[in-house]
């Protein structure tokens, strides 16, 4: 899911802050217990702004998830491209190490991913899992 045009018009810094705080909320509490009220309180913005930016809670969640997964894929693509002339073993090793370091550097993204894998009360979980399985680096 992409954000609505109102979100895209925000500065990069504000977009990053909204995304980071939403990732924290969803990764700490899961989808069902995550609170838009808590997110906007931490951001110091009106609740209506979130709805103008993403439509609804599901839109925000899908945006945050897609942003987080794209960040991981970009990181791994860089490793893939940098090791293009190496042996298969070296490339696999570099990819696995890069994945490990990425998760250490971005623990909230990892937590969000784990929540999706094991939090069965996400109403659209199957759609997300099918989408994740269809994407490759």
Buried b (16+ CB within 10 A) or exposed e, 73-109: eebbeebeeebeeeeeeebeebeeebbeebeeebeeb
Residues 80-89: what's their mean pLDDT? 93
Q: For residue 41, what are its two tokens? A: 């309180």
End-to-end CA distance of the chain: 18
Q: What is the C-alpha to C-alpha distance for residues 115 and 127, in angstroms, rounded to an integer?
A: 15
pLDDT averaged over every residue in the chain: 91
pLDDT value at residue 1: 65
Give me the helix-helix angle, 88-105 and 57-82, nearest 10°. Answer: 140
Q: Given CA atoms 114, 116, 120, 126 in this order, what sign does their dihedral have?
A: negative
Span 16-64, pLDDT tens digits: 999 999 999 999 999 999 999 999 999 999 999 999 999 999 999 999 9
Exposed (0-12), middle (13-18) or buried (19+): which is 11, by Cβ within 10 Å? exposed
pLDDT value at residue 37: 97
* Domain parsing of the chain, residue ranges: 5-134
Residues 72-81: what's their mean pLDDT? 91
CATH of domain 5-134: 1.10.357.10
């Amino acid at each position: 899911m992409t954000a609505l045009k109102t979100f895209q018009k925000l500065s990069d810094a504000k977009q990053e802050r909204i995304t980071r705080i939403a990732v924290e909320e969803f990764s700490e509490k899961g989808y069902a217990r995550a609170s838009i009220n808590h997110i906007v309180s931490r951001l110091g913005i009106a609740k209506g702004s979130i709805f103008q930016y993403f439509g609804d809670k599901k839109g925000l969640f899908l945006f945050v998830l897609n942003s987080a997964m794209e960040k991981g894929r970009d990181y791994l693509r860089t490793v893939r491209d940098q090791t293009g002339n190496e042996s298969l073993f070296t490339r696999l090793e570099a990819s696995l190490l890069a994945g490990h370091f990425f998760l250490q550097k971005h623990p909230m993204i990892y937590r969000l991913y784990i929540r999706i894998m094991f939090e069965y009360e996400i109403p659209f979980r199957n759609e997300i899992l099918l989408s994740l399985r269809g994407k490759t680096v």
